[in-house]
Structure 1
Amino acid sequence: MTAPSAGDTGAGETHAAVAAAARCGLATRGVLYVVVGVLALRIAFGRSERAADRTGALAELAAHPFGRVLVWAVGAGLVAMALWRLSEAVFGAAGPEGRKLTRRFAAAARTGFYAVGAFSALSFAAGRGGGRSGDEQSRDVTAMALAAPAGQWLTAAAGIALAVGGVVIAVGAARRTFRKEMDTVRLPPGGRRAVDALGVVGGLARGAVFTAAGAFLVHAAVSYDPGKAKGVDDTLRSFAGTPAGPWLLVAVATGLLLFGVFSWAMAAWRRV
């Protein structure tokens, strides 16, 4: 029986670090979605004026005992999430299709998304900004994009990509494609069914939010009006303005909360 080589030991340590970053990042994502879901439920019942987005979630966490520590922890968790996605973009993800170009491109896009989120959270924790709502940031970014050459076309393309991404998320959730990424064999049948339910309901709600936000961005491009673009908070509030009234917002908010719980399940059982 031979001793493991230095290369094997290094590879094992690298994998352990990547796995730790992934699980820490997924757990952090779960915290944010649960808090956003709770804030959206409060809005639906007229009991909260705090924005139901990342900024509102950070403010909600900061308002509790040891809140600043919690916000720092969220920022660190988002850094871990960005590093994990970066490793997938560079080296490929787990699974037989993890090295496909499309998977790597998606991982690179997620790296940028979580890097921006991490910077915002850490800035908030340090008291150096990060307090502007997602709606304000969305309108400002849209205004800059529209002012650029071919800005309307680029903004519309971004909105279409966001909306299509939302549809892909929802369809994937309905088809339970997340099962391929999880190792739940050791769970009892009831536990696996519970994880499935969380993934389906949460993914459908998350997909609905992305699709609606993308549609608003396309509207902003077509009308050449950055005020038509909506962040997460305004997008969620728009569900209450449909014929279904606040009950549609209740359904979506509950789904986002459940997606947060599903993220915790992913942190425990995702293959990395």
Structure 2
Amino acid sequence: MSYDLDIEFESPVEKTEFWNFLQSRKHYFIDSDDFGYQNDQTGVYFTISTDYDVNDDEDRNYENKNEIISVICNINYCRPGFFAVEMAREITALLARFPACIDDPQMDGMGSGPYTPAGLLKGWNAGNIAAIHILSSRQDPFRYALPRATLMRCWEWNDTLDARQQRLGDAKAIPKMSSFALDEKILTAAIWVDGMPIMLPRVDYVLMARRQDDGATQIACLSWADLVPVLLQAGHAQHDGFDVSHALAADTTSALLASGQPFDPDRMCLLNADKVLDEESVSAARA
């Protein structure tokens, strides 16, 4: 089940010009005759299917498809709301570059336009809730959920991660914020390797990892409340998280690993971004 937005360009768009634009936006790839979007930091993905103006109707090879006359942008339902937020940003940029008419036939959609980011979000959210409702009536697959504000905070952190890491260089790590299941509770988490310098976001749990001499990795699960006093005592700056400006002493790292819960895959797992929905959407679907 998915949301489709039809876009018909005011004039045919050269295939190479279209692809060059997508490449300038990052996270795009070519998949056969179509284009895909995959942001590995945020976990957001969607597809752009193409309709070409072909010079030679008898030869349908990709190389002979020179101009794109329309596209269909497709994004799945039963996803967290930030999926649609990120897609709306990309579609807004696409339409600013290539003027077009739209057709949004979804429930509460924009119809024949005009396009607005808010209109896309309204239509997608309505369809998302309906899809969750339909699938929930058959089974109960949506046990992973967090408040929308929490998921948006994670998305905003991850969405700017690459740019901030580029500014900082390799001297300090910036980890992703992830969703984390612990004994059926859904929480936020970040991974910290070897006590290295890090810009640590405020999360519920930190998965602290250390590489052993034998090649194995020791992982411990530490709550934020347990971590704060240790980092403050070591003199690290606290913001909405911690700026750990220098590597932890080896004995401090060992003490933290010893005090945390050993990572147990039977009780704990990191969750893919598309598996954790907005609590508000799940509640609305079940009302």
* TM-score, length-scaled by structure 2: 0.25
- The higher radius of gyration belongs to 2
The answer to which structure has the higher helix fraction is 1
* TM-score, length-scaled by structure 1: 0.26
Return the structure number with greater relative CO, CA threshold 8 A, min gap 6.
Answer: 1
